[in-house]
Structure 1
């Protein structure tokens, strides 16, 4: 089961390896991006929201095809908060409303029993194979960045309280060991935990950056994917021998790695030159949708001295033109994500148009240690921009980019940083392209979904009413009167993360000052799932950029 946009929009597909059939499961108008398959293989689940607003319900459909029905009969619309599909039709479901988050045990008849409830966000993680235990993540302490772990009996009794991130129970029936990631110095360390005895076994990997882990299907080893300095590598850790063996996977980015019976590993792979493909470590399962798209140039790594330490960035140069190039500083979202040595069609499109593209893993990014990720909480937005400014200055000093032809661009958190950068450093940028941005931190907080409100409280240390100066200091709208560059803003009508009204108010303030500004409203939510719409948005951004940047003379 996987998600693909082969139909023109992100939809869910089922692939039956036995008979070689590929079937489209969903035809949801706003796309479908969340899915899961039951352990029996009899049915699939997918989340249906209302035009991209992320609020809806899980639907269930037979694997071979048939009509959809609500997967949980006694629940109305909700925001999804984790899902684990267990054995014998028992499933663990997290679901949030404006009143808080519930985690429920879903029974084979489609009814649910509440195991947990709290006003702060929580997340359903996994069910043990004997259905005796459940594990959840919670933020009862009010800090979404440092959640707690709770192991529950499926009658609701609390068994254990832990720190870190829960991964899941052993896949072997009768083995209730729990795999965790726990903080250790500046990294995350895998730990195998026995809930009933409290016994802990640390894997002591000493891998910097970020790691993700998964049990092998016979629970004798752990698959480890290590993301560090914008690239991935994978290992197999033998639990009995306590040995770590690197898997032979080319340099690039590994995503969605899964273990298979017999020890094989399936994963998606790409690098900055090659679009993503399905791969298998030890077999050739003839994955569907295989293709050989044209390549683009590999990105170059650069390291720049910044105020908080060395800043890592990826530089992609156009095949034509001479230095210094017009350039797009393309900022990732998150904020706790990172740009990787992975294919990005937007980067390829900009370089095809003659622009250099610079992607920066500023403080707040993952892949460089916990301290680097958490550093943005010192002064939200401004911390990241210090690193972006350092990389910009380096690229100008090296005559790689033309200071008169620089575009600041990004989506979500990247769109927020774009607007903040245009106002706090107006002389640095020729124009800005902001997608799904926060323009007014306080106004966005009041209109956003509850998980985003909790993230805000964690980042700022309170609500806008409790710490108004901090929200004001980090809000792009505070500096709107200093903006000098033309600005293109794109926002989703049903965006529950970065609500459209505050973004529209920001552009109206610019327009009132007589600045060139374009506002494009998308009939959807926080992300653009339709290929045609993504292409249309990029074309409008490119036309807007060409209107104010001339390749020969700089600012027109």
Structure 2
């Protein structure tokens, strides 16, 4: 059989996963012709170098479980990449010459850790953020090839924000106040690690507000730092001169969350505006305050960058159209070889009144047939994330098999204001599921969803909500599919990486020892004996975020009472970067649902 016929014989839903994809190319600040991107061209997501002048591309990393965390030095001479073990996220930074060559330890002398930010200067200065269960958060400075020097340490989570253009100033995000959801900022002198300035919006008020480092001005001697803030109930940018303390509030007249990055000459900002599950781009002129739309198609811009010539490159997709890297200069920037991913169906916007306000849901219907449909409620992870009008191969596979798909931006999701994002504190999981339940009621009442064929599904935090929902709403769901979930919250807290322990203390208001009742109320294990729906669980045995022991505890309880369940364990961390592994997992989920609901068998 010819190669072309083999491709045609592959089911459409699998073609979407196998189709080559690329990330938005990063470019070296002082050598913009040198770029780095991520692609699944070999069947595993790895880093690739791209010389734009010659058009030459080469694969940089080649590891069984893939590699996605990498960056370029400003001069473009080096590619840095993070080397962990089988997806456990614990490792060291390596580097490789852009033109190819042997890998070498990028920062000799630093022991393995979880990464917490990296900044590389033009003069060879390097700032490395780390975290370990034993040390908490540390930041290390490396200059002139000398041994790394620790310049920051704290038990709470912290990380590197940025290094100034002239390598004299270091911006750090930290949560020394104990709220891992809302960072404060500190700027240090690289010369002696002394404090230059502090910015902390968690002090002096009744509400805790977060800050984020968006980047120093790209000009030597310019001490302005672009900062994200939440002072008006949503994410917005401001300019903070760390030398004088002056703050310039930009007050952009745009609804929803607003982020920004510098144009290469420092005269303007590239604005990324996210509102109601879609995004768009603008250019803000700092001198005049003019805001000009950067034209992009309707849908979602998942990443964007302003090139030195003033053009903007961006990674765009919609629910119906696969991702593509485009440029405002015209055309596609980086087109991977091979067959393109088939499209899917567009989303419909639904607004449902819920106990905490209007809930936004994205709905997709199969291309053929009349409702009510078997329906998958695909619950997003995070929880500080949101579903958007963007292409996703997983939901598209369910649509191909005759299911409707509903995605709910529950309280806890980003993109709808700080109050919505922060609402889940102290009733973790239960609040989100109230919103999912409200949308479920709408889906059944509207005739979209067959109440006898409802699937609750999700990964990570979505997997957690799936297991919690099966136990707290046992009559609502016909099947549950939980990928890399939190299943036993107390044991998960004991085993998870330190940064997530800090987040959990923020969400619950303390540790399991301090607020045991809250952890019990929000743990799927508490309700495992009430689960009546068949349960499918997949888990990475090296996962540092949702560790395997706590999943085993939950599964043992299911097995002890003879509950219908299946478990699939795979050799990776919090998800897989191997295309065939991901296809296998989706196939297993489709098959499990089909067997227990009597729906269409897995196929084309």
TM-score by length of 2: 0.90
Counterparts of 2:144 and 2:409, CA distance in 1: 45
Residue in structure 2 matching 1:131, options 163, 167, 170: 167
Structure 2 residue 44 is the aligned partner of structure 1 residue 9:
yes
Query: Which of residues 546, 558, 562 in structure 2 aligns to 1:510?
Result: 558
- The alpha carbon displacement at 1:292 in A equals 4.0
Match of 1:162 in 2: 199
Report if the CA contact (8 A) 2:123-2:167 is conserved: no
Matches within 5 A, 1:93-492: 93-98=128-133, 99-109=135-145, 111-154=147-190, 155-163=192-200, 164-284=211-331, 286-289=333-336, 292-492=340-540
Give 1:526-545 correspondences, 5 Å limit. Answer: 526-545=574-593
Residue deviations 1:328-370 (CA, integer Å, cap 9, x gap): 0000000000000000000111000111000000000001001
Correspondence 1:46-85 to 2 at 5 A: 46-85=81-120
Query: Tell me, what secondary structure is at the counterpart of 2:94?
Result: strand
Q: Distance in 2 between matches of 1:37 and 1:143?
A: 32
| Displacement of 1:533 | 0.5
Distance 1:234-1:376 versus aligned 2 partners, 3 A rule: same
**Count of aligned pairs:** 552
Separation of aligned partners in 2, 1:240 and 1:478: 58
Partner of residue 88, structure 1: 123
Paired with 1:242 and 1:191, the residues of 2 have a C-alpha distance of 12
Offset at residue 283 of structure 1 (A): 4.1
Which moved further from structure 2: 96-105 or 75-84?
A: 96-105
How far 1:284 moved relative to its partner? 4.5
Deviation per CA, 1:370-407, whole angstroms, max 9, x where unpaired?
10000111411000000000000000001111000000
The two structures have a TM-score, normalised by structure 1, of 0.97
Alpha-carbon offset, residue 285 of structure 1: 6.8
CA-CA distance at 1:295 after TM superposition:
1.6
Would the aligned equivalents of 1:22 and 1:288 in 2 still touch at CA under 8 Å? no
| C-alpha separation in 1, matches of 2:144 and 2:389 | 43
User: Contact conserved, 1:409 with 1:418, CA < 8 A, in 2?
Assistant: yes
SS of equivalent residue, structure 1 residue 143? coil
Conservation of the 8 A alpha-carbon contact between 1:366 and 1:372: yes
- The SS at the match of 1:187 is coil
Asked whether the 8 Å contact 2:38–2:47 carries over to 1, the reply is yes
CA distance in 1, matches of 2:390, 2:332: 23
Deviation at 1:104, TM superposition (A): 1.4
How far apart are 1:320 and its partner, in Å? 2.5
Shift of 1:168: 1.1
Structure 1 stretch displaced more, 70-79 or 88-97: 88-97
Residues 325 and 333, structure 2, Cα contact 8 Å, conserved in 1? no
Is it true that 1:33 corresponds to 2:68 in the alignment? yes
- Structure 2: unaligned runs, 5 residues or longer: 1-35, 201-210
Deviation at 1:189, TM superposition (A): 2.4
Range with bigger deviation, 364-373 or 188-197: 188-197
Alignment deviations for residues 20-79 of structure 1 (CA, whole Å, 9 cap, x no partner): 111110002221121100000001001010111000001100001111011001111111
1:184 match: secondary structure: coil
Structure 1 residue matching 2:370: 3-state secondary structure: coil
Partner of 2:597: 549
Give distance in 2, aligned partners of 1:288 and 1:249.
Answer: 18
Q: Distance in 1 between matches of 2:570 and 2:94?
A: 25
Does structure 1 conserve the Cα–Cα contact (< 8 Å) formed by 2:139 and 2:152?
yes
Give 1:241 deviation, angstroms. 0.5
Tell me how far 1:226 sits from its aligned partner. 0.9
In 1, the alpha carbon distance for the partners of 2:74 and 2:414 equals 32
Using the TM superposition, give the Cα deviation of residue 543 of structure 1 relative to its aligned residue in structure 2, in angstroms.
1.0
Contact 2:267 2:285 in 1 (8 A): yes
CA deviation string 1:504-553 (max 9, x = no partner): 2112211211111001101010021100100001111111111100139x
8 Å Cα contact 1:186/1:208 also seen in 2: no
Backbone CA RMSD of aligned residues: 1.2
C-alpha distance in 2 between matches for 1:542 and 1:404? 17
- CA shift digits 1:118-162 (9 cap, x unpaired): 111111011111111100000101111111100111121011111
Secondary structure of 1:376's partner? coil
After alignment, is 319-328 or 303-312 more displaced? 319-328
Query: Aligned partners of 2:471 and 2:436: how far apart in 1?
Result: 14
SS at match of 1:212: strand
CA contact (8 A) 2:70 2:79 kept: yes
Give 4+ residue runs of structure 1 displaced > 3 Å after superposition.
283-286
| 8 Å Cα contact 1:209/1:366 also seen in 2 | no
**Equivalent-residue separation in structure 2 for 1:256 and 1:91 (angstroms):** 25
With over 3 angstroms needed to count, the CA separation of the structure-2 counterparts of 1:551 and 1:391, relative to structure 1, is: same
- Contact 1:59–1:69 (8 Å) recurs in 2: yes
